[in-house]
Amino acid sequence: MDATTTPATQVATVKLLIGGQFVESKTSEWRDIVNPATQEVLARVPFATQAEVDAAVASAKDAFKTWRKTAIGARARIFLKYQQLIREHMGELAAILTAEQGKTLPDAEGDVFRGLEVVEHAAGIGNLQLGELANNVANGVDTYTLLQPLGVCAGITPFNFPAMIPLWMFPMAIVTGNTFVLKPSEQDPMVTMRLCELALEAGIPPGVLNVVHGGEAVVNAICDHQDIKAISFVGSTKVGTHVYNRATLAGKRVQCMMGAKNHAIVMPDAHKEQSLNALLGASFGAAGQRCMAVSVAVLVGDARKWIPDLVEKSKGLKVGAGIEKGVDVGPLVSCAAHDRVTGLIDRGVAEGAKLELDGRKHSVPGYEKGNFVGPTIFSGVKPGMTIYDQEIFGPVLCLAGADSIDEAIEMINANPNGNGTAIFTQSGAAARRFQEDIDVGQVGINVPIPVPVPMFSFTGSRASKLGDLGPYGKQVVLFYTQTKTVTARWFDDDTAHGLNTTISLK
């Protein structure tokens, strides 16, 4: 990825966080952070040097010596304070996020809030990091387990949720006793950095949380660093596969949440208005830049007659700058993203899908330079078409048809991705059959974007996930800890109990 070379004196610079201090990078490689609605350069982000990555890891490694022994109640209280600070600064955080990423203000607040839920969950670590005890497993012998931190952990986050996904990662890693090195997306790191400022204000000690910025070279440095024990990644399949292969080869524990092609089945008995509204929100919200967005709707039987109603509702959505009130669909994050999405729409037309609603060349008065693509709908989409096979990551909804629920399930299970799926129906029997037979990690029943609350874990599957354990919830406590099993016997006196040359406990 190329970095720009705008003179440093023209705009503010994003800092690194190393050893509790926000420091200016000494790199010669920078990238502009651009408002996607206006093309205004908001700031410049550095591509950290190898020495700066090493310094961040060294700071985390040194801080781990004391942080790992910090009382669990003290760790929990920091995150109680942190969630309070996030709530107090919600409006500010949403405004920063909207300016650099393009989301509408309500969606930006939702981005922050879903991360806040994980922070709240982290504050309950006293109940989450419990071990197990079996008393008197043999004569006077007890066995118990300890969930102990790993050491320095790292996170690599994407552009589409610059608040939520960092908050999925570092709070749970840190509250379990680890230290952390975070690499935010170089496209929109400003809200992430503000969250890190608040984290330090909440009481996270110097060196426990560190931040480096950059592209492929920094990602590789994190994957290769011998002192990093575990890496959490969310992003594209291409980069995620690279991270997983490279980091596991280096002996690290890795979880990668990657690309998706999420389907929703619409049964003919579904509540029509609720189902259509849900499809619109799940397909076009955040300009379709969600890994859990519904990008394919499989209309079963007579539900195919609802296409004109879906198109008409979509025409009523307002496209514009995220900061404006009443906007439903904001801009795509970059000019490159805009060109990619419009190019895929072109491919869809060329390959024979019917373009029911065309969002190309969408101009917003006052924001003529913005990366806008309006809601776009194709019908007659089939596997093998580029718009079906590829993750578009834009406000494009593909409509496919099926004669039965069996045919619809077969189509979804044949797709290599398994991030999320949904069914809209009023039949309990159909819903139960769907949840049992579908081979996808996260299932919604009349819920279009079934992202679990933090008491559970994000559970994408198949090509959408590499690694056994998911982010947040109970699974991530296991990811960020090592289980140590202790078998202990204490004697009441010096009486010898005899020599035992077997492996049994007596």
CA 210 centroid distance within chain:
19
CA 161 centroid distance within chain:
7
Residues whose CB falls within 8 Å of the CB of residue 48, separated by 6 or more in sequence, listed in order: 16, 25, 27, 56, 212, 213, 214, 218
Residues whose CB falls within 8 Å of the CB of residue 210, separated by 6 or more in sequence, listed in order: 16, 17, 18, 19, 56, 57, 59, 60, 179, 180, 181, 182
In Å, the largest CA–CA distance within the chain is 90
291 is catalytic: yes
Cβ atoms < 10 Å from Cβ of 493: 5
Whole-angstrom distance, CA of residue 483 vs CA of residue 249:
22
> Collapsing DSSP states into helix, strand and coil, what is residue 253?
strand
Instruction: Decide if 443 contacts 421 (C-beta within 8 A).
Output: yes
Q: How far apart are the first and last CA of the chain?
A: 63
**Residue 296 β-bridge partners:** 263, 398
Cβ atoms < 10 Å from Cβ of 106: 15
Q: Which residue has tokens 């387990």? A: 145
Catalytic-labelled residue, pool 196, 291, 335, 398: 291
Whole-angstrom distance, CA of residue 120 vs CA of residue 200:
17
| Amino acid identity at 228 | I
Residues whose CB falls within 8 Å of the CB of residue 333, separated by 6 or more in sequence, listed in order: 36, 101, 102, 159, 160, 187, 188, 289, 371
Active centre residues (catalytic): 291
